[in-house]
Amino acid sequence: MENSFADSPFVYAITLVEMPRKINFPKTKRFEGITDRTQYKQRMFTAVILRDLREACMCIAFGSSLSSLALQWYTNLLNNSITSFALLTNTFMEQFVSS
C-alpha cells in the first residue's frame, strides 16, 4: 500500500500542533547522513531552543533540515512511531552512528 498524504512518523498529538507561520533557522548545510551527527543534533537543538518552539514543532522542523540519505531515512520512519523529540533524535543518532 502506498503512503497517503496523511501518513506521518509522528503520533497524532504531534501532528495536531500548529507550526508558527515563520520559522527562521540559521543558514547551515543540511545533514546528508555523512557528517558529524552529534554536531548536527546540537545545532538543531540550539536553533529550536533559541526560538522557544514547542517539542512538537521541534519534531516537525527536524525533517526540514535533512537531505540525501538522512532525508530518505526520515521519510521511511514508521507511521506513528515517534512520540517525542528525544525519541526522534535518539533514533537519528542510532541510525547515523558511523557519521
Number of domains in the chain: 1
pLDDT in tens, 6-25: 688 999 988 888 877 776 65
- Range of the structural domain that residue 78 is part of: 33-95
In a domain, 26, yes or no: no
**Does the pTM of the predicted model rise above 0.75?**
no
User: Is residue 89, in this structure, part of any structural domain at all?
Assistant: yes
* Residue 70 C-beta-side C-alpha neighbours within 13 Å: 27
- Residue 68 in any domain: the answer is yes
Assess if residue 21 is contained within a domain.
no
> What's the pLDDT at 77?
95
Do 37 and 94 contact (CB within 8 A), yes or no?
no
Does residue 2 lie in a domain region?
no
Is residue 12 assigned to a domain? no
Is residue 41 domain-resident? yes
Q: pLDDT of 20-72, one tens digit each? A: 777 665 566 666 666 676 777 777 666 665 555 677 888 887 887 888 888 99
